[in-house]
Amino acid sequence: MGSLSRIGIALDSALPKRFDRFIHSRGHTNRSEAFHDLICDRLVQERTAAPDAAVAGTVTLIYDH
């Protein structure tokens, strides 16, 4: 990871409490980690949503013989 940048945001007072419950249920240890993951996920969604985007996938078959 490169250097870190600090940002500030303003939220409705009820939202941080809901967000804390959400991130705790997902196993995040802090808000910064959760924001990082949410932003990265959204950027990947945007990049792969284009009709001509190159994406990779896998098909997995589990066979119990």
Q: Cα separation of 34 and 37, whole Å?
A: 5
The answer to whether residues 37 and 28 touch, using CB atoms and an 8 Å cutoff, is yes
Question: At which residue do the structure tokens 């119990």 appear?
Answer: 64
pTM: 0.68
Using 50, 70 and 90 to split pLDDT, how confident is the model at 1? Answer: low
Using 50, 70 and 90 to split pLDDT, how confident is the model at 53? Answer: confident
Task: Name which of 63, 9, 57, 62 is nearest 34 in CA terms.
Answer: 9
* pLDDT tens-digit readout, 29-51: 999 999 999 999 999 999 888 88
Domain ranges of the chain: 15-47
Q: Cα separation of 54 and 56, whole Å?
A: 7
